[in-house]
Amino acid sequence: MPEPIFFTLTSSPALLESVAKHYQGKIANINLRHFPDGETFFKIEDDVKDRPVVIVETLDHPDDKVMPLMIAADTVKRLGAHSVGLVAPYLAYMRQDKAFSAGEAISSQTFAKLVSEHFDWMVTIDPHLHRYHDLNEIYTIPTQVLHAAPIVADWIQNNIESPMLIGPDSESEQWVSEMAKQINAPYLVLEKTRHGDKDVSIKPVPMDALAGHTPVLVDDMISTGRTLIKVIEDILPETPNQPVCVAIHAVFSGDAFEALKATQIGDIVTTNTIKHPSNRIDISTILLQNEYLSPN
Ligand code: R5P
């Protein structure tokens, strides 16, 4: 296989460099800018003919990224790339997985269609699979899902004394139960109802089991932060040990980070699938398990 070409449009150079180095690829020189009217200009300086091309782009704020991404993928294909793959540590548009009322878009399907039309394969970390059980229900290209749970669990084990893992909703059970098993910690899963973007309620439960433990709230992502804020404010009693939030994807929309910090939270820890000041767990080694690339 000829030397693969890697680049990112806007994402962390550290993740790009680690993946490119592992697969002994070249990091391409690209020119990405916007014309005065806001349209995207993209140029790749390297020869991609007959070479596999990999774009490493995390997909938070996807609407700003999608046009440049599709233009970049189309450009390298037109220039004769052998294939074009997408490594998206965070995959967007997974939560609108059904029309909750008549007339609503199912944007997860639209997004999947768009990516499937422009890429040959995709690798991502812990996409929000709730009503879908597999990405192939909406993506028509080969996809590989990697999991951050093992290294997140390691972090909890190495940094928190006597943790009690708490998942805020039924979706979180998949991560929380795995992590709890790995580190032999107790866990519980709460019941959440979402009433609006920033309006959730959590069913009250007795927290007797918490005695002697540090509550560790575990979620796949923090977006508005309202899920975890609600758990901290309404469910967790005044525990001697302040709760810690650990999430895989640091989406943090609007004032989410500040609002979460303003609670009685002890610490907020995320992985670097999305660059954020709360990043403390490095997922770069997980991205080296890519089954569509082989180290030379
Ligand atoms: C829910 O379905 C997810 O697992 C997260 O709990 C949710 O997306 C967090 O969203 P927010 O921070 O806006 O409450």
Q: What is the pLDDT of residues 223-245, one digit of tens each?
A: 999 999 999 988 886 777 899 99
pLDDT of residue 168: 95
70 pLDDT higher than 90: yes
Establish whether residue 176 lines the binding site of ligand 1, counting it when its CB lies within 6 angstroms of any ligand atom: no
Q: What is the mean pLDDT of the chain?
A: 95
The DSSP result for 226-256, as a single string, is HHHHHIIIII----SSPPEEEEEEE---TTH
* 118 pLDDT higher than 90: yes
Distance 31 CA to ligand 1 centre (A): 35
- Closest Cα partner for 169 from 224, 228, 225, 257? 228
**pLDDT over 80 at 217, yes or no:** yes
Whole-angstrom distance, CA of residue 280 vs CA of residue 226: 21
Q: Whose CA is nearest to atom 4 of ligand 1?
A: 220
Kindly state the percentage of the chain with pLDDT values over 70: 99
Which residue do the tokens 């995390």 mark?
58
- Position of tokens 């928190």? 160
pTM over 0.85: yes
Q: Say what the pLDDT of residue 1 is.
A: 75
For residue 280, the tally of other CB atoms under 10 A from its CB is 14
24: alpha, beta or left? (left if phi > 0; alpha if psi -120 to 50): left
The ligand 1 atom at the shortest distance from the C-alpha of residue 256 is: 12
Burial state string for 39-73 with b = 16 or more CB within 10 A and e = fewer than 16: eeebebebebeebbbbbbbbbbebeebbebbbbbb
Q: Name the residue with higher pLDDT: 57 or 202.
A: 57
Q: How confident is the model at residue 190 (pLDDT cuts 50, 70, 90)?
A: very high
Per-residue pLDDT at 296: 61
- Report the separation in Å between the CA atom of 20 and the middle of ligand 1, taken as the mean of its atom positions: 32
Which one has a higher pLDDT value, 146 or 130? 146
Is there an atom of ligand 1 within 6 Å of 169 CB?
yes
Atom of ligand 1 nearest to the CA of 95: 2
Q: Whose CA is nearest to atom 14 of ligand 1?
A: 227
Reduce the DSSP state of residue 209 to 3 states and report it: helix
